[in-house]
Amino acid sequence: MTLGNNERRMLRALLSNPEAGWNLNEILDVTEWTDQVHVAGSGQVLSDAGLVQIVESSSRKVSLGSEGRNAALDGLLESRIWNWLQESDDSERTMQGLFSAGFERHEAGPGVGLLKSLGVNVESGSFVWSDENAITNSINQRSEFIQVLSDSAMDIGGLDSELVKHFQGRKGLIEIEESTTRTWTLTKAGKEIKPDELKDVQQIGEITPELLQGESWRDAEFKPFDVNAPAPIPAGGRPHPMQALIERIRSVFLEMGFSEIEGDYVQSAGWNMDALFIPQSHPARTMQDTFYLNNPEKVEVAPEMLDLWAKVHEYGHDTGSKGWGVKFDKEEAQKGLLRTHTTVNTIRHIAENPHVPSRVFGIGRVFRQETIDRTHLPEFHQIEGIIHEPDANLPMLISTLKTFYAKMGYPDVRVRPAYFPYTEPSVEVEVYWRGEWLELGGSGIFRPEVTEPLGTEWPVCAWGMGLERLAMLVLGLDDIRELYQPDLERLSKMPIL
Ligand code: PHE
């Protein structure tokens, strides 16, 4: 077997003390390499050749996270609240007292939770406890733990495992890092090699035009390449995964012949809802679901549109519909709000181009009063689109959506009947993923009550899909919030799209 120069160099180094187990730094020292990649790579080749034995041992080190470092300076939250409780009078030991003492709202909830689990109770609004010493002891133990780690990171074995478990359950207090250390030792066969067999050989590492012009390459020795050799992962910049996904969706729709449209976040209730024949009494129009604006409180809408919507909503106008049979409020239609869906963009596009056939899409941010949880955010994105042309029809809509999802990598798509006030028929779109059908959005053919006031006579296929839902599939996340936390480590590990 012919060894490369790196392997020869490493062997020469190990032979300078053939009985020793060598660690990384010792090998770097003697070989004068600056990059540990050489040690790992050459060490692996030597181990494969039976000349060196590699022993790996892993350890887990615990250090303070960002919250932990704050706690080391200012004290743990429970400790600060406990100190305050002990110093204050009976009458001050209330939630209100806690705020007056300068604790922030975001601290009060978790802080009281921590104290409750230590034995402090809230009785008729006041904090009370029985075993003062036990509470003080627990808190002191926690504080000492943090102080110890503030001096230096510690091996997990040397720490109280209950406390490690406790702090692991709290956000940002500690971090646990696994590390592997290796030692390299010569095997019997390795020790028998004579150093003078280990002179550097002349090897060609790069094939250049000059080399190929001559004849010398014919008997040259070429440096073998090991494509599996460990190498550092380049820490370059990359687009945020969400941005990358948006770009990909964009290119899929462009390639399917669609053009892109945009619109403003601030809209009138009229264009966001009345144009879509959403009744003015619809529950989704209330403050609980929609962000209405104080500024601008009113967004003016062309009087002709208001008149048309009023007729359609009140009695159906010329659409053949009976309307909602309720008086239409033009002031309500001019309330300013943050758009709740991007359907407002496609609707306005039709109103501006009623006689031009079009296939357009848009990817935009929308706003709804949602409580944040694993699958909901108050700001999210929709992938919206329409086909507006004389022969638009339901099969065309379904095959368009199927094509889109297939191009995104989800070939199994099904639709189910659904209801939206503005489409008939209405369908829900689902994709099959890991054994489950997941709902990704709504679609349908706009009702005459919607299209007639816009001035068009053609059918319109329309859809609005959730972008974050799709992102969760593509990036394999089970919590939507992970997408927007500025955790560079996690973001850098998300797949490149
Ligand atoms: N606007 C609907 C939503 O926000 C989706 C939709 C768009 C449904 C177009 C039908 C037609 O969920």
Domains contained in the chain, number: 3
pLDDT at 1: 57
CA of 463 to the centre of ligand 1 (A): 6
Let me know how long the chain is. 497
Q: Are 482 and 490 in contact (CB under 8 A)?
A: yes
Shared domain check, 432 and 349: yes
Shared domain check, 481 and 397: yes
Q: Directed axis angle between helix 105-118 and helix 77-87, to 10°? A: 80
pLDDT at 248: 96
Please give the Cα distance from 480 to 477 (Å, whole number).
7
Contacts 24+ apart (CB under 8 A), 91-96: 93/126, 93/127, 93/128, 94/125, 94/126, 94/127, 95/122, 95/125
The answer to whether residue 26 sits within a structural domain is yes
The answer to whether residue 228 sits within a structural domain is no
Q: Please state, in angstroms and as integers, the Cα–Cα distance from residue 210 to each residue in 30, 148, 172, 206, 223, following that order.
A: 35, 62, 57, 11, 17
Sign of CA dihedral 157, 160, 161, 164: negative
pLDDT in tens, the chain (497 residues): 578 889 999 999 999 999 999 999 999 999 999 999 999 999 999 999 999 999 998 889 999 999 999 999 999 999 999 999 999 988 899 988 999 999 988 898 899 999 999 999 989 889 999 999 999 999 999 999 999 999 999 999 999 999 999 999 999 999 999 988 899 999 999 999 988 888 887 778 888 888 889 887 887 778 777 788 777 777 788 899 999 999 999 999 999 999 999 999 999 999 999 999 999 999 989 988 999 999 999 999 999 999 999 999 999 999 999 999 999 999 999 999 999 999 999 999 999 999 999 999 999 999 999 999 998 999 999 999 999 999 999 999 999 999 999 999 999 999 999 999 999 999 999 999 888 899 999 999 999 999 999 999 999 999 999 999 999 989 988 899 999 988 888 888 888 88
The answer to whether residue 139 sits within a structural domain is yes
Q: Are 221 and 40 in contact (CB under 8 A)?
A: no
CATH of the domain at 43: 1.10.10.10
pLDDT at 261: 98
The answer to whether residue 75 sits within a structural domain is yes
Shared domain check, 35 and 155: no
Pocket-testing residue among 338, 342, 343, 346, ligand 1, by greatest number of atoms within 8 A of Cβ:
343
Q: Write out the two tokens for 255.
A: 């390639």
Q: Are 444 and 415 in contact (CB under 8 A)?
A: no
Between CA 65 and CA 75, with CA 69 as vertex, the angle to 5 degrees is: 125
- Supply the range of the domain harboring residue 206: 5-61+179-222
pLDDT at 173: 95
Shared domain check, 73 and 184: no
Please give the Cα distance from 176 to 153 (Å, whole number).
9
Residue ending a domain, choose from 151, 172, 193? 172
Does the C-beta of 79 come closer than 6 Å to ligand 1? no
Shared domain check, 136 and 193: no
pLDDT at 42: 94
| φ, ψ dihedrals at 32, nearest 5° | 60, 30
CATH of the domain at 250: 3.30.930.10
Q: Are 423 and 457 in contact (CB under 8 A)?
A: no
As a whole number of Å, the end-to-end CA separation of the chain is: 42
Q: Are 468 and 380 in contact (CB under 8 A)?
A: yes
Total Cβ atoms within 10 A of residue 458: 17
Does the C-beta of 442 come closer than 6 Å to ligand 1? yes
**C-alpha neighbours within 13 Å on the C-beta side of residue 353:** 14
CA of 395 to the centre of ligand 1 (A): 18
Total Cβ atoms within 10 A of residue 131: 11
Nearest to 386 by CA among 419, 348, 433, 331: 348
Does the C-beta of 444 come closer than 6 Å to ligand 1? yes
Q: Which amino acid is at 263?
A: G
CA dihedral 162, 167, 168, 171 (to 10 degrees): 160
Chain center to CA of 58: 30
Shared domain check, 106 and 25: no
Does the C-beta of 343 come closer than 6 Å to ligand 1? yes
What share of residues in the chain are helix, strand, coil (percent, to 5)?
Answer: 45, 25, 35
Please give the Cα distance from 258 to 92 (Å, whole number).
65
Does the C-beta of 309 come closer than 6 Å to ligand 1? no
Please give the Cα distance from 354 to 305 (Å, whole number).
14
Shared domain check, 359 and 482: yes
pLDDT at 287: 85
Please give the Cα distance from 382 to 384 (Å, whole number).
6
Residue ending a domain, choose from 222, 255, 281? 222
Q: Directed axis angle between helix 394-407 and helix 241-255, to 10°? A: 130
Total Cβ atoms within 10 A of residue 489: 6
Residue ending a domain, choose from 222, 257, 290? 222
Q: Are 202 and 12 in contact (CB under 8 A)?
A: no
The answer to whether residue 20 sits within a structural domain is yes
Shared domain check, 49 and 93: no
Shared domain check, 414 and 438: yes
Does the C-beta of 423 come closer than 6 Å to ligand 1? yes
Shared domain check, 76 and 13: no
Shared domain check, 159 and 247: no
Shared domain check, 193 and 168: no
The answer to whether residue 325 sits within a structural domain is no
CA of 309 to the centre of ligand 1 (A): 19
Please give the Cα distance from 311 to 328 (Å, whole number).
8
pTM of the model: 0.60
Does the C-beta of 84 come closer than 6 Å to ligand 1? no
The answer to whether residue 374 sits within a structural domain is yes
Total Cβ atoms within 10 A of residue 363: 20
Chain center to CA of 19: 50
